[in-house]
Each structure stands twice: as structure tokens, then as C-alpha cells.
Amino acid sequence: MVINKVDRPSSRVDEVENEIFDLFCNLEANDEQLEYPVIYAAAKNGWALNSLDEERNREGVSDLLDTMVQHIDAPKVDVDGELKMLINQTESNKYFGKMLIGKIASGKITLKDTV
């Protein structure tokens, strides 16, 4: 769970944490689902941390990225198979050419590959 805007004077971090926990309970979440990590963020200022210790340097989002890697399973993709990608969005850019955003179902793409 990410709680944003914790840097504001009007933030209610503890209340929001309790409200989200109560919401999960009302949705009949199991014990595993109730043991979620909490990240405190000020996205506009560019930081997201796993604790609000006063002594911590408040910059960067490495805590958020580390938490995602630890708690979100990697997709089940056949990396050695033929490249298959479901394209969700296309965009043209005068510097990069055509750009595609999508989900890879099999195979892999590395930097400077021609697809």
C-alpha cells in the first residue's frame, strides 16, 4: 500500500493506515492479505520510503521499487520462446520513431533490438 502526500501538514497517516486496514477487514481479506507492506510517499517531491523516520534522507523511490520486487511475483513468461507481445498503445516520436507499449507474452527484448 502506498500512502501519498504524507509531507503535507494536513496529512493523517495513522488514520489513513487504520482506515485501509478496516476496509480490507470489511472486504473479508485473509491473514496473508492483511500483512501488506506500507510505503509513505510524496510523489510530487520524488520520494517514497518504507518508514517515516525523521533521520532518513527523503529522496528517491528505491524503497518502493524494492518492495515491488519482493512482493509482486514475476510474470510467467517463456523468455526463451519466440517474441509475442500484445500492444496496448502506439505513439510516434520525432526522435525515437514509433513507440509501442504492451505486455510481453513470450520472448524478450533488449536494448537496441530491432523488432
pLDDT attached to residue 6: 93
Single pTM value for the model: 0.69
Q: What is the pLDDT of residue 52?
A: 87
Rounded Cα gap, residues 4 and 54, in angstroms: 17
Q: Which residues of the chain have pLDDT under 70?
A: 55
Domain ranges of the chain: 2-71, 74-115
- Going by C-alpha positions, the residue among 115, 110, 108 that lies closest to residue 78 is 108
Q: Give me the pLDDT at residue 76, please.
A: 83
Question: In this predicted structure, what is the pLDDT of residue 113?
Answer: 85
Query: What pLDDT score does 62 carry?
Result: 93
